Amino acid sequence: GAGVSQSPSNKVTEKGKDVELRCDPISGHTALYWYRQSLGQGLEFLIYFQGNSAPDKSGLPSDRFSAERTGGSVSTLTIQRTQQEDSAVYLCASSSPRGVNTGELFFGEGSRLTVL
């Protein structure tokens, strides 16, 4: 696609429920990143993928958070047993290791998660 696509754009859930957030990166981008942005805060690194493997998962807040990427394309971020402190905007970005814009992260619009 033309840009990074994320779904859902908004998700309201009850505490204790599981949620899945989806990211469809720019075609051909081998690197994919997940960040979390709490209200009025900065961008907190969660995890990144090179192809289907995740060399760095150090930012995942707890074992309730997991992510996978299949076919070197779409990625899913799963949050189990959601808590109110998980409420935030989850941003996905992708980048290409080649070309004029080497290394530039292209962000999606984000998925706003609200845990009641």
Partner 1 sequence: GENVEQHPSTLSVQEGDSAVIKCTYSDSASNYFPWYKQELGKRPQLIIDIRSNVGEKKDQRIAVTLNKTAKHFSLHITETQPEDSAVYFCAASKSSGGYNKLIFGAGTRLAVHP
Give the footprint of partner 1 on this chain (CB under 8 A).
31, 33, 35, 41-45, 48, 50, 56, 58, 91, 95-98, 102-105, 107-110
| Helix then strand then coil, % of the chain, to nearest 5 | 5, 50, 50
Q: Residue 31 Cβ, how far from partner 1 at the closest point, in Å? A: 5
In the complex with partner 1, the residue whose CB is nearer, 16 or 103, is 103
Q: β-strands 10-13, 31-37: how paired? A: unpaired
In the complex with partner 1, the residue whose CB is nearer, 42 or 71, is 42
Q: Residue 17 Cβ, how far from partner 1 at the closest point, in Å? A: 26
What is the longest distance spanned by two Cα atoms in the chain?
Answer: 44
In the complex with partner 1, the residue whose CB is nearer, 43 or 80, is 43
Three-class secondary structure assignment of 22-54: EEECCCCCCEEEEEEECCCCCCEEEEEEECCEE
Query: 3-state DSSP call for residue 17?
Result: coil
In the complex with partner 1, the residue whose CB is nearer, 65 or 82, is 65
Q: Residue 105 Cβ, how far from partner 1 at the closest point, in Å? A: 6
Dihedral (CA of 64, 57, 49, 5) sign:
positive
Q: Residue 81 Cβ, how far from partner 1 at the closest point, in Å? A: 27
